[in-house]
Structure 1
Amino acid sequence: MSTFVSVFSGAGGLDIGLKRAGWDCLYATDFDKHAVETLNLNAAAGRVDGIIRQADIRDLTGDQMLSDMGKRRGDIALLAGGPPCQSWSSAGHQLGFNDPRGRLFEDYLRVAKELDVRWLVFENVRGLITARGSDGVPGTALAAIRQALFSAGWQTRVELFNAANYGVPQRRVRVVLIGYRTGDEPPVPDASHSEGSEPGKSSWVSIAEALAAIAPLGVDEIIRPSGKLALELETIPAGSGVKSPGKRETTRPGGHWGYKQGAFVADLKRPARTVTANAQQDWIRDPLHGLRRLSPRECAALQTFPADWVFAGKRVDQYRQIGNAVPPLLAERIGVALRGHVHRQASAPSFAPVFIAPLPDRLQAAIDYTTREHRRNGASRMAAPSLRKTSRQQLAG
């Protein structure tokens, strides 16, 4: 019974990983035309199975999806896919449920109930951990999501994954929420890599290692800086970037500061920073081509997409699809742990949850920290959302 339906499928990163782990995708859907075209291009080459639909999840019904698949309620084991992350991202305005995209979770949950799946796998940005709900209190957005799932009969396990700890050449930190019936909690994968030399673990995979495994770039893939930016980047050492001005706060007279978007020079000896969903990717000093921006194909390698995976659209569309994706290697590790649980426990218990499982101490500590920060520096932090750095460090630590 290792079947799943994929919603908000994007370029297929989560689906690729689950398929490698032995799961069978019967239905994949996304609203974005370029993402659906990407899935169709790869389906034509035999790399994608199942039904592919371009649709708004608000227009989908579980009954119609089941009819299309020739299945009945309860036949599908897993609903995979995370609603768009921009509503919760620290790089955005963090409008949460006030952003229409933040309400798409309600349709995600509706489809899950209509399909009557056994498990949910929900991926989102780490900002969801401390995101504010309708009351403006940090952490209550996640609490509301968990309460909605609890009321619908799913218990939830929330974990924070650094993809680099699972062999992905990228320091990408994301929240993964796994919904399950009480008594049916699956395990999460143990980290296989570490930054240092932990016994039994491999070292993090570097950018250089990842890029060495793909074919050389063509001339049309080389993007060089120009104008003022070229001059600014000239003296920037690897692993650093052009700083943005800080904003003073009550408890931080020196202010918060960060790196300007699109003005960071990556260190080839380390995993990449998070591959983003826009064209302002990091720069590298290529021994052959000099200072240049990471290309879409290289970003796909840093995300661990297969080398033959085809992306539709213009360069900006490809960057968006790649940056929004779940790294297939991380998805595979999660899928293997979940599928192993399927074989150990063939059916789900029928009793309802009686209380919501607590968050891991580390995640609750991050919420508590952000709450204190909100009381001390709330006004200035809300005025400069792009400078929210400290709570992200707390989560990543």
Structure 2
Amino acid sequence: MKGLDDPRGQLFKEFVRIAAETRPRFILFENVAGLVTAKGAHGDVGGILREIQSEFENLGYACRFDLLNAADFGAAQRRVRLYMIAAYKETPPHFPLPSHCRDGSQSLSPWRTLGQFLAAQRAPDAADVVRPKGRRVAELMALKPGTGLRSVGLVEANRPSGHWGYRQDCFVADLTVPSRTIRAASTPDWLRTSQADLRRLTWRECAGLQGFPTDWVFDGRSLASRFRQIGNAVQGDIGRAIGRELFAAAHSVGRGNGKSVGWPSCFSKRVRYTEMEEITNGAHRRAAREKLNGKSAEMVG
């Protein structure tokens, strides 16, 4: 995350302004998981989230946070997001309990796979289908589902061979598990529909994975605009699950001491890990960014 230096990082203040003007009983806030470790104005890991919490608390709201995976609530998509429920002068409601898990143990249903989702969809319109061209065909066909073409790795203190990752636009989906997170970019994962055929997930399929009804009409004519609206939306299955909890709480008498609930343990673990990473690799990363910025400046000049 770019943090408060990014204009989008200031949008939460609009959220706070609206809350101050309307004073709803409950507030639901959703953001990327990286917000947990985003640095504050003084470089402190987790600082932005602490600032957001403080802003709402100053208005009289008690906050509860968690990281929830849409796949645990019936979505055929692995999408982990940070959620906050804030309650005005009362203890915030609990988040819903999962209805699904990876292997279907603990009396829960197994995750819904991408393959199961696609089997229930109608055939995509020919105009929506994108297939690879040129050398990309052979590169993608050589990949095992659930893998992708690698990006260039950044050499770090504890990763001498490079901190590599998969290119987001060149990943072949695994049909036996829920899809990866649907992004706001118009380059979703590739599907191997047969031994000799590859295509991307269509925008309609991405919308379905996000929980949109099949007849939903999106604003804007461009494909890029549709993908932005789809990828930036709150996933529907988990939205309904949280909505049911809020609906039940709204029809009950407020209770509790009106104090915020402590961060879950997974937040603390992420903060500690990021702090250790900064100690180990922070100098390498800053040097790499400065070098890259220097090359960019030379090219512009």
What TM-score do the two structures reach when normalised by structure 2? 0.90
- Contact 2:210–2:235 (CA<8 Å) still a contact in 1? yes
Deviation, 1:255, is 2.2
Match for residue 31 of structure 1? none
Correspondence list, 1:1-397, <5 A = 94-287=1-194, 290-312=197-219, 313-345=221-253, 347=254, 353=259, 356-382=260-286
- Deviations, residues 242-272 of structure 1 (Å, cap 9, x unaligned): 1112211112212211001210000111100
Q: Is the 8 A contact 1:187 1:341 kept in 2?
A: no
Amino acid at match of 1:328: G
Deviations 1:340-397 (A, max 9, x none): 122232x577x764xx532111211111111111111113345679xxxxxxxxxxxx
Paired residue type of 1:163: A
Q: Do the aligned residues in 1 keep the contact of 2:91 with 2:258 (CA within 8 Å)?
A: no
* Aligned equivalents of 2:287, 2:178: Cα separation in 1: 32
CA shift at 1:98, angstroms? 1.3
Q: Which 5+ residue runs of structure 1 have no aligned equivalent? A: 1-93, 386-397
In 2, the alpha carbon distance for the partners of 1:298 and 1:166 equals 19
One-letter code aligned to 1:318: R
User: Is contact 2:145-2:172 (8 Å) kept?
Assistant: yes
- Which secondary structure does the structure 1 equivalent of 2:271 belong to? helix
On the 8 A contact 2:62/2:90 being kept in 1, the answer is no
- Deviation track 1:59-92 (CA, whole Å, cap 9, x = no partner) reads xxxxxxxxxxxxxxxxxxxxxxxxxxxxxxxxxx
300-309 or 181-190, larger mean C-alpha shift: 181-190
CA contact (8 A) 1:239 1:267 kept: yes
Give me the whole-angstrom Cα distance separating, in 2, the residues matched to 1:289 and 1:145: 50
* Farther off after superposition, 269-278 or 336-345: 336-345
Deviations 1:181-226 (A, max 9, x none): 3433211100111111312111111111112222211211110011
Any stretches of 5+ residues in structure 2 without a counterpart? Answer: 290-301
Distance 1:192 1:378 in 2: 39
In 1, the alpha carbon distance for the partners of 2:248 and 2:100 equals 21
CA drift at 1:135 = 0.7
Q: 1:384 to 1:122 in 2, by over 3 A?
A: farther
Q: Separation in 2 of the partners of 1:170 and 1:375?
A: 34
Identity of matched residues, %: 39
Shift of 1:119: 1.1
Contact 1:118–1:348 under 8 Å retained in 2: no
CA distance in 1, matches of 2:49, 2:106: 35
Measure how far apart 1:304 and its partner are.
Answer: 1.7
Distance in 2, matches of 1:230 and 1:176, equals 39
Which residue does 2:293 correspond to in 1? Answer: none
- 1:280 Cα deviation after fit: 1.3
Relative to structure 1, the CA distance from residue 144 to residue 247 in structure 2 (aligned partners, 3 Å threshold; closer, same or farther) is same
In structure 1, C-alpha distance between the alignment counterparts of 2:287 and 2:38, rounded to whole Å: 15
1:104, distance to aligned residue in structure 2 (A):
1.5
TM-score, scaled to structure 1: 0.69
Q: Secondary structure at the match of 1:263?
A: strand
- The number of aligned residues is 288
SS in 2 for 1:344: coil
**1:16-42 deviation per Cα after TM superposition (whole angstroms, max 9, x unaligned):** xxxxxxxxxxxxxxxxxxxxxxxxxxx
